[in-house]
Amino acid sequence: MARDIKASKPEWQRTKFSNLIRYVPSGTYFARVRVRGKLFRKSLKTDALSVAKLRLDDLQKEMRQAAENQSAIAQGKMTVADAARIYRQRLKGDTSLKPRTVHYYEHRVKALLKTWPGLGTLDVRKVTKTECLNWAAQFGEKAASSVFNNTAAVLRQILAIGVETGARYDNPARHIKRVSIRSKQLRLPEAHQFAAMVEEIASSGSRFSQDCARLVRFLAYGGFRKMEAANITWADCNFERGKILVRGEDDTGTKNRELREVPMIPEMRALLERLMKERPEAQPTDAVMKVHECQKAMDRAARLIGMERITHHDLRHLFATRCIESGVDIPTVSRWLGHKDGGALAMKVYGHLRDQHSTAMAQKVSFGVRPQPAVPQIVKEPPVRC
């Protein structure tokens, strides 16, 4: 009898919200949407009603937009914006990509549409080889090598969707050639320049001038990436062990999805201890840095003191450079930076510093006859007569 009652219990439960149903055994909410006569049922991957309602709205928009795209494709019509939308959906659905990578390529799509006015509304079939090459020539004049190559790759993949769906037969973006990656020449500030830049930032008189100066020091003394620094809390600072735990952008790990520890150099310890005295009310879960970006402040300070412009990432290079110049071996510095290649990248970027150190040490080597140290002579004192 109990088995019959259990069998008669419905597995699906309606809610008071349209197109939202609940799977009773797991409690998971599903979207039940009819688009162009077809009924779709898709998991919203949550058992929280408030979250399910938000995801339902997004899903309905995506499904209806996808249906419109399919309708346009069926009629042989597809704009570049339509293809870009499909490309973005594939990016989000690719579980092999890190969130940071997805975010980067979404920015490349925006950069492409911004630097090619009218591209989004252009029919995929009407994009020509000449237009692609003209865009590449103009964009390549200002963009860095890696930025150019990645943006051009996005254009090729977007137009490839047009080929895939039958909207056109060839991909005109395939004629855009990759440019060779030009290694950035590191022009880092000397110790006195760095001190002057930080002082100029701190004394600028703006609302966040002091916080910006602290961020510059924090990045330079720890070698953190900008978003890594934003996630470091007071609980991550272990003064007893002299270590700082570095987390990633979403608290699940760093850029390489792993946690790492960076030692506190004396300047870092002094900075953190000073901040703790200034913020006695700070909680362990509070972020150490109150600002997460200060590029404009650095640009202004560099201009005023006559120094070469540097970026947040250059402060990471500055940390590595000072460590190596102080005698820390490159593999160790590589681990502090969070590299997972055993030091190969660090050797490529900072290897010249080791060469310079080797050259300096070589000057101490000599095969010449060295003057022998003088042997102290023992002077005998005359005997004392009583």
- Please tell me the distance from the alpha carbon of residue 124 to that of residue 160, in angstroms, as a whole number: 10
* Domain match, 279 and 258 both: yes
Q: What is the DSSP letter of 124?
A: G
Mean pLDDT of the region 353-377 = 59
- Please tell me the distance from the alpha carbon of residue 30 to that of residue 33, in angstroms, as a whole number: 9
Query: Is residue 3's pLDDT more than 60?
Result: no
- Please tell me the distance from the alpha carbon of residue 326 to that of residue 319, in angstroms, as a whole number: 11
* Domain match, 142 and 235 both: no
CATH number at residue 100: 1.10.150.130
- Please tell me the distance from the alpha carbon of residue 188 to that of residue 321, in angstroms, as a whole number: 9
Number of domains the chain is built from: 3
Confidence of residue 242 (pLDDT cuts 50, 70, 90): very high
Mean pLDDT of the chain, nearest integer: 83
Q: Establish if 255 belongs to a structural domain.
A: yes
- Please tell me the distance from the alpha carbon of residue 220 to that of residue 162, in angstroms, as a whole number: 46
Residue carrying the six token digits 């007893």 = 240
* Domain match, 326 and 217 both: yes
Q: Per-residue pLDDT tens for 134-168?
A: 999 999 988 888 899 999 999 999 999 988 888 88
Confidence of residue 355 (pLDDT cuts 50, 70, 90): low
- Of the spans 21-25, 172-176, 180-184, 362-366, which averages the highest pLDDT? 172-176
| DSSP 3-state of 11 | coil
CATH number at residue 325: 1.10.443.10
Report which of residues 231 and 62 the model is more confident about: 231
* Domain match, 256 and 162 both: no
Q: Give, for 301, the enclosing helix (H) or strand (E).
A: helix 295-305
Q: Establish if 372 belongs to a structural domain.
A: no
* Domain match, 249 and 294 both: yes
Kindly report which listed range (26-35, 160-169, 325-334, 356-365) carries the lowest average pLDDT score. 356-365
Q: Establish if 119 belongs to a structural domain.
A: yes
Confidence of residue 253 (pLDDT cuts 50, 70, 90): very low
Domain extent, residue 29, equals 11-74
* Domain match, 21 and 59 both: yes
Indicate whether this model's pTM tops 0.85.
no
Q: Per-residue pLDDT tens for 181-225?
A: 766 667 888 889 999 999 999 999 889 999 999 999 999 999 999
Q: 285 with 291: CB under 8 angstroms?
A: no
